[in-house]
Amino acid sequence: MVKKIQAKNDILDTLIQKIPNLVNVTGGLGISYGKDRKFFPIALRSASHLRIEKEGNVYWVPFQIDPKTVIVCGIKSEEVPQNEKRLIEGLITEIKFEYFLKEQIGKFNDPKSKFLKTILETSEIPDFDLAIEKGDLLGINLRSPQAVILVDIPGFFKELHQKNQDKSPNDMILGITKGCGRVVKSINVGFKNYEQNIVGCINPDRFVVLKWANGDVNTLNTVKYFKEKGEYIRKIVQKETGFEATIGVGQYYPGLAGLKKSYYDSVNALELGKKIWGPGKTYHITDIGMFVSLSDTMSHEQKAELAHQILGNILTDKDLYKTVKIFLESDMNLTDAAKKLHLHRNTLIYRLDKISKEHNLNPRVFSDAVQIKLGLMLYGKGSSACKTGQSK
């Protein structure tokens, strides 16, 4: 009862702040809220018939908060306040949804989803053997090489809440759980329910897939493989929910620490991908490239490690390293760089083309050159390994 009253008070406080021409707010009995409690017969009539009533230049508009609760807003207006009515309806829906999340969020997740959230986002299970053991009890196989694919479906959870908000609290939780379960099932069915692919709902609007590497953990092959699977999941989810989904794909790393790292790869890929190129697409962490420097959640060491994965032998081949470094320092001017490197212009072009072909980053294209430059800088900060290359 206390929680219900608090939720209603939050709604009242918000309406008072957001609706400038609000004259008064009453309950279903027509008695106003606040210290100065007055009885408004017209508000009672509005609540009883659930219709707009007018008295003078004040319109009394009823709103159904839940099956047993009605509030009536007195709004000063020259005509029926349709804009205010829509705004109040939106505010009430938003507050109810936020309140629901705050109080009930932990109840809709199934045991598998809760376990996935625990191993990916917390340190409650520090040992991989223990994680495997606990996973076995839930039918979760963590023994195979798996990378994390994150699925973002903005608005999906809120729609489930709205569809079920007129039900009892328990039935509402059940309805939302079933809705999330349908998404999990559709992804599982898409992969023929293979046990080494693990799917769960870990946050509102967010699902996670531990995707089996199919036995191949070669870096170049797995990037393509997991990105293709991420795009496949995106299409499945959009067909199932009708919502536009965005996918973040992490790199594969071994062990429990590697699984967590893959998860945060997927988070960064998703969030930065949406910011840079927009929602509704599939982003692998290597697609983000060195724009990952914009992330506040990754350490310099993690960014340096990603720089090494993306730049590869640019960092270990002294000729390629010196070539691209001098080329960028020469403001991407071929003639100036060739002179400084004591190379024929065609030799310089050959080396730059080699970099472009092997790393899918063209030093002669400004946006790619920026990423290469950031990668060199980040790798230099995060690792001593490249300092040898820099001194050559």
**CATH number reported for the structural domain that contains residue 149 in this entry:** 3.30.70.270
3-state secondary structure of 9: helix
Q: Could you report the per-residue pLDDT of 369-380, keeping only the tens digit for each? A: 887 887 787 666
Residue type, 81: P
pLDDT at 323 over 80: yes
Q: For residue 304, tell me if it sits in a domain.
A: no
CATH number of the structural domain spanning residue 94: 3.30.450
Residues 51 and 158 in one domain: no
Among 87-101, 118-132, 338-352, the range scoring the smallest mean pLDDT is 87-101
3-state secondary structure of 158: helix
Confidence at residue 298, expressed as pLDDT on a 0 to 100 scale: 66
Residues 315 and 353 in one domain: yes
CA distance 242 to 245: 9
Q: Could you report the per-residue pLDDT of 135-190, keeping only the tens digit for each? A: 999 989 998 889 999 999 999 988 988 888 778 778 888 888 899 999 999 999 99
CA distance 242 to 233: 13
Q: For residue 33, tell me if it sits in a domain.
A: yes
Q: Is the pTM of this model over 0.95?
A: no
**338: Cβ contacts below 8 Å, ≥ 6 apart:** 344, 345, 347, 348
CA distance 363 to 356: 7
Number of structural domains, the chain? 3
| Residues paired with 258 in a beta bridge | none
Domain termination residue (choose one: 76, 105, 134): 105
Confidence at residue 383, expressed as pLDDT on a 0 to 100 scale: 43
Residues 119 and 200 in one domain: yes
Q: Which domain holds residue 356?
A: 309-391
The enclosing H or E element of 103 equals: helix 82-104
Closest CA to 288 of 120, 366, 206, 303: 303
CATH number of the structural domain spanning residue 386: 1.10.10.2840
Position 386 confidence tier, pLDDT thresholds 50, 70, 90: very low
Q: For residue 383, tell me if it sits in a domain.
A: yes
Residues 82 and 127 in one domain: no
Residues 131 and 189 in one domain: yes
Strand 246-249 to 282-284 pairing? parallel
Residues 321 and 386 in one domain: yes
Confidence at residue 217, expressed as pLDDT on a 0 to 100 scale: 65
pLDDT at 1 over 60: no
- Report CA 333 to chain centroid distance, whole Å: 40
